[in-house]
Amino acid sequence: MADEIRVRAEILEEMLRHARREPEVECCGALAGRDVVITKSFPAINVLASPVAYEISPQELFRIFHRMREEGLEHIALYHSHPLGENFPSARDIAQAYYPNEAYFIISPQVGVPRPVRAFSIRDDMVRELRIEIAAAGL
Ligand SMILES: [Zn+2]
């Protein structure tokens, strides 16, 4: 994966809104797009309803992947929020990073955080931060 991840500005807003709407638990979802630009978010339910962990049910993930295929989109990333701590991958996030070729966005719903949206590549227990590049709409 490249050292940067390209995403439309409104997707960043959508993830932040989702995280702030559910400040008690980790919110989560999937991101998809075309030509390595993220153009659509698919919010999901955190079945753990926990402030320190998240899990998307296999059934919901299956439905999301199906919708992506229907819309001709490819799965590019996952996102979740860290309501309490820093928006950096936790030990659990690293242990459960099942998609080495995808990006992991971590959102902080807290006000005043310098970078409320960060993105990482997690592969073989190695975390690498990705630069978030805003892609203009219409691409
Ligand atoms: Zn996490």
Q: What does each of the 139 residues of the chain score in pLDDT, given as a tens digit?
A: 569 999 999 999 999 999 999 999 999 999 999 988 999 999 999 999 999 999 999 999 999 999 999 999 999 999 999 999 899 999 999 999 999 999 999 999 998 899 999 999 999 999 999 999 999 866 4
Check if 133 is active-site: no
* Cα 21 to Cα 112: distance, rounded to the nearest angstrom: 17
How much distance in Å is there from the Cα of 138 to the middle of ligand 1?
A: 31
* Cα 41 to Cα 79: distance, rounded to the nearest angstrom: 9
Residues less than 5 Å from ion ligand 1, measured at CB:
90, 93
Asked whether 83 and 26 are in contact (CB, 8 A), the reply is yes
How much distance in Å is there from the Cα of 8 to the middle of ligand 1?
A: 22
Class at the top of the CATH hierarchy for domain 4-135? alpha beta
Which residue among the candidates 4, 13, 26, 102 is catalytic per the annotation?
26
Domain assignments of the chain as residue spans, ordered by start:
4-135
Asked whether 16 and 9 are in contact (CB, 8 A), the reply is no
How much distance in Å is there from the Cα of 90 to the middle of ligand 1?
A: 5
The distance of Cα 126 from the centroid of its chain, to the nearest Å, equals 17
